[in-house]
Structure 1
Amino acid sequence: MCFQVIISIIGLLLFGKLLEPLWGTKELSKFVFIVNFSTSMCVFVTAIAVYYVTQQESYLYTPLSGFYGVLSGLLVGIKQLMPEMELNLFVLKIKGKWIPSLIALISVVVSFFMKDLVSYLPVILFGIYMSWIYLRYFQKRLETGLKGDPSEEFSFSSFFPAILRPVLDPIASIFHRLLCGRSDRADRGQTLETSSLPGSDSTEANRRRERGQRALEQRLAEKLAAVKSTESTSLDASDKV
């Protein structure tokens, strides 16, 4: 248990350090709460459903760690904001956009060989999915004033190899229309009232993404400048002493 707590703290500090300058402390805290709560609820409902199907009470008493869902959700945030950033994993260099998919794949594979880790699999998978749902459709983007991230680079099929996307895109579009079609049309109507040309939706989405990326870079630069200013002020004060 102590080892798991240490991993959770280290992961939160590392991933939070990357995302907090871009999201802000308030949004990061909101993200952690929403993902942790929604992941826990999904795992709870899944455990109840599996119990009724199998009639095995062990599913009701399996210890679960909800914070691993938050950690995997923070990786989805890195995929969204820093997709081309490369992280060194031992001898491999992995781009940020593939890290959530890699973690999900490793978790599934490991669960077949280490039965003690099976209980963490639904937490990790639901953490990735619920964080994507929130970032894709509900997070309010300060740089655009709109909700969600409609870019193709952050679609559901972007978590999978390109060979599977022709199969996944039609399925994902069905759930998109069922769950968020109405709100998506409302937001699109506000921003694209005068645009009716073919392909204008994707063009506008790319423009929004570019504007958002520039705003995020500017915000990060302002944060770094503030930190440097504070450090120089502290050094001047120490020199005077």
Structure 2
Amino acid sequence: MLSSSSPPQPLQTGGSSFYAGFTRLCKGLAVVLVGGYVSLQIFPSILPYVALIPSRTIPFAWNLITAGYVEQSILGVAISTVGLLLFGKYLEPLWGSKEFLKFIIVVNLLTSICVFVTAIALYYITRQESYLYTPFSGFHGVLSGFLVGIKQILPDQELSLFILKIKAKWMPTLVALISVATSFFTVDSVSYLPTLLFGIYMSWTYLRYFQRRLETSLKGDPSDDFSFSSFFPEFLRPLLDPIASLFHWVFCGRISDSSADTRSDTLDGSPMPGSDSVDAIRRRERGARALEQRLAAEKLSAMGKLEGTSHEGAAENV
């Protein structure tokens, strides 16, 4: 069994195990993504009604909800579908189906609101009408949010992406850096970059301050390993920590208030089981156990299929 001291095993993205273990919820959401893309190809005139176009959001406010589930390209729907199925089979068992769906809905909505406000602000600053009429849509905001979830649960887990291996805690930062870098060389970067960056930020905000944890009655994750500065290299953290302290004030002093409530609820002044580093360690151990169980189940399933095939071959030879 994996422990906090044992070396992490890489999450494989290839092989037969990649196609096993997808949940019903993820399969259903994948159908929604594929169905949205197909509908858009058959009826292209519905794009202004389902995508987020800032100039039309006031009368069509439902675009803030629908935009996150509509892909405009075959590459986008392929990446979104595979990413949803892949990350969902690891996150949904740990969070629960209800919380997993809530995470997707909340992050999609908050990301769309942030993109809308940013587009309006950029228009008034630059007076470029392209910000008002660009159709924003896609599931990539939530996909980047899944990376934040993996960072929270298994920060030291190695993600094996073909020949590249990288720790999960750096994946959101790496994706953000690559997206910003490529935006200087692509014309349509405005259509995906705000959604992706706000997806990372809003996912962290939700998980940091508002997600209710299954193992305790508390909300959020106040551990230092999931702070805002943890997304950046160590040498930048002294500069970022003062900025990060503003987040505590923005969210109504939730951290200081919850800390005071926690101290008043304890008898001997010791930290409660759901606080800071203790809770972070427990969450990682729980995630590691769930991951090991899933990998073991997939291995047994593959071995069972292999044995069944060998038995059938032996019977035919007899």
Q: TM-score over 0.5 for the alignment? A: yes
Structure 1 residues 32-181: aligned runs within 5 Å: 32-181=104-253
Identity of aligned residues (%): 60
* 1:87 to partner: Cα distance: 1.5
Displacement of 1:226: 9.0
Equivalent of 2:276 in 205, 212, 230: 205
* CA distance in 1 between partners of 2:294 and 2:177 (Å): 35
Letter in 2 for 1:32: I
- C-alpha contact 2:208 2:222 (8 A) present in aligned 1: yes
**Structure 2 residue 247 is matched with structure 1 residue 189:** no
Larger Rg: 1 or 2? Answer: 2
Shift of 1:6: 1.7
| Aligned mates of 2:292, 2:170 — CA distance in 1 | 26
Q: Which residue of 2 aligns with 1:19?
A: 91
Secondary structure of 1:150's match? coil
Deviation at 1:209, TM superposition (A): 1.9
User: How far apart are 1:37 and its partner, in Å?
Assistant: 0.5
Aligned mates of 2:287, 2:75 — CA distance in 1:
35
User: Residue 39 of structure 1 aligns to which amino acid in structure 2?
Assistant: T
In structure 1, the gaps of 5 or more residues are 232-241
> What's the secondary structure of 2:192's corresponding residue?
helix
- Contact 2:222-2:255 at 8 Å conserved across structures: no
One-letter amino acid matched to 2:255: D
CA distance in 2, matches of 1:44, 1:76: 22
Q: Which whole-Å deviations, capped at 9, do the CAs of 1:173-207 have from their partners, x for residues lacking one?
A: 023223241x223322333224668xx69x95111
Bigger fraction of residues in helix: 1
Where does residue 237 of structure 1 map in the other structure? none
* Cα distance in 2 between the residues matched to 1:94 and 1:205: 25
Q: Is the 8 A contact 2:211 2:220 kept in 1?
A: yes
| Amino acid aligned to 1:116 | D
Aligned residues: 230
Contact 1:21/1:220 (CA < 8 Å) preserved in 2? no
Q: State the match for 1:239 in structure 2.
A: none
1:6-37 Cα offsets, whole Å, 9 max, x none, are 21111111111111111111111100000000
Give the TM-score normalised by structure 2.
0.65
> Is the Cα contact below 8 Å between 1:137 and 1:180 reproduced in 2?
no
Q: Assess, with a 3 A threshold, how the Cα gap between structure 1 residues 55 and 14 changes in structure 2: closer, same or farther.
A: same
CA RMSD of superposed structures (Å): 2.9
Q: Partner letter of residue 40 of structure 1?
A: S
The one-letter amino acid of 1:189's match is A
Return the alpha-carbon distance in structure 1 between the equivalents of residues 289 and 82 of structure 2.
Answer: 27
Please, which moves more after superposition, 218-227 or 13-22? 218-227
Which is further off, 156-165 or 83-92?
83-92
